[in-house]
Amino acid sequence: MKPSTLATACALAFSAGLAFSTSAQAQPISVVGSWSSVSLHKDYELPFWTETLPEASDDRLEVQLSSFDQMGINSADVFRYLSDGLFDIGVTLSDYVVSDAPELEGLDLPMLAVDPIQAEKVSEAFWPIVERTMQSRYGAKLLAIAPNTPQVVFCNTPISGLSDLRNRSVRASGRSTAEFLDALGARSEVMDFSEVPGAMERGVIDCAVTGSLSGYNAGWYDVATHLLPLPIGGWDHAITAANGDFWSGLSTEDQTLIATQARDVFAHGVWSNIADSAEQGIACLTGEGECRAGSPASMTLVATDEADLETAKEILSTKLLPAWASRVDADTRALYNQHVAPLTGLSID
C-alpha cells in the first residue's frame, strides 16, 4: 500500500472509531499494535489499551486500537509511519526493523538469554540502547519492551540436537538467527510466517524457527514432528513507542501515566507470565503437561544438553556479537558494555 493511500486509510479507520467517543473531553490516542493473532496482542495489548489505561486515566484517555496486519501495514514499516505521524503509538518486533535500526537487533541475538528471568534482565539492560535508538532513528519515545514466547525450532524430520540442523534448510526468524544457523552449517531461509507450513509440507524447508505458542496457534504441529526448545531465535521482543510530536503535545500528567502504565503494568504483565506461556507452548505442542490453549499435539520434544549450550555460546561470542557490533556505532557498543555485558559475561572489544 502506498504511503499516501495508507495515510488516508489510517485516518479514516481511526477517525471512524473515535467518532463514537463517550467523552468530548477525552484525549484520543490511535494505537497500532502487533500481530492480531498472537497472544501478545490478544491477551495483553488489547485489554491494556482498551480497558486498563482508560480506566487508570478515569476515562481521560480514549484509545482506538488496531494492529499492523489489520491495517495492512508491513511490519517493517510500522516505525517509519509512526515517525510520519500516521498514528500516535506503534508496536512492532525488533527483528523487523533491523535494516533501519541495527542497534535493535542486539535485543534478539540468539542465546544471549536462555531463560525468562535472564531474558527480562537483558531486556531491561538494553533499555538505554533502545531508548536512544528510537529517538535518533524515529524521533519516538520508547514506552515498553515486551517478549513473545521464545523462538524455538520446529522440524519435520527427526533431530536429536543442534548438530542435526547441519545441512538442513531452516527458516530463520531474523538476520541474527540466520547468521546463527549458517554458523551451525545449516542453510538459513527467509520466508513469511504464513508460508512456513506449506513450505515444510512440500519439503522446501526441513525446519523453522518461531515462538512455541505462535507455532501451536498456527497449527505447525500438522507439518512438524520434532521440537527443539532452545531459544535460538531470541525472545521476539516487541517494542512500543510513541510519535515524538504526539508525545510532546500531551500534558505532563498524561505522559507520566502512559509511560508508567506501559512499562510497569503492560510490559511487566507480559514478563510475569512469559515462563508460563513458554511452558504452555511446549505442553500444547508435545502433550507433555497440561495444555490450556486447546487440544494438545504430539510432537517429539528434543532434549537439550550442555554440548548444545556450549556450541551456541561459542557462536554467539565469536560470530554473532562481533557481527552486530560491526553494524552499530561506538556509543551503542559502549552502552552495551556498560549495561548488558555484566549480565551476559560477553563484552565487545
Cβ atoms within 10 Å, residue 237: 21
- Give the separation between CA 177 and CA 325, rounded to whole angstroms: 15
Q: Where are the domains of the chain?
A: 3-148+236-277, 151-234+284-344
CB neighbour class for 246 (10 Å; exposed up to 12, middle 13-18, buried from 19) = middle
Domain 151-234+284-344 part of CATH 3.40.190.170: yes
CA distance readout (Å), 195 to 64, 118, 216: 30, 32, 15
Strand (E) positions, the chain? 27-33, 61-67, 89-93, 140-146, 151-155, 169-171, 187-189, 207-211, 226-228, 238-243, 300-301
Whether the pLDDT of residue 66 is over 80: the answer is yes
Cβ atoms within 10 Å, residue 34: 26
Two domains, one topology: 3-148+236-277 and 151-234+284-344 = yes
- Tens of pLDDT, residues 131-190: 999 999 999 999 999 998 899 999 999 999 999 999 999 999 889 999 999 999 999 998
Mean pLDDT of the chain: 92
Give the pLDDT band of residue 8 (cuts 50, 70, 90). very low
Whether the pLDDT of residue 325 is over 70: the answer is yes
Check: CB of residue 249 under 8 Å from CB of residue 243. no
Whether the pLDDT of residue 23 is over 80: the answer is no
Domain 3-148+236-277 part of CATH 3.30.499.10: no
Whether the pLDDT of residue 213 is over 80: the answer is yes
pLDDT of residue 39: 87
The model's pTM is 0.90
- Give the separation between CA 327 and CA 98, rounded to whole angstroms: 10
- Tens of pLDDT, residues 261-310: 999 999 999 999 999 999 999 999 999 999 998 999 999 999 999 999 99
pLDDT of residue 6: 57
CA distance readout (Å), 9 to 4, 16, 87, 284: 9, 11, 11, 38
Angle at the Cα of 252 (from 246 to 258), degrees rounded to 5? Answer: 65
Give the pLDDT band of residue 38 (cuts 50, 70, 90). confident
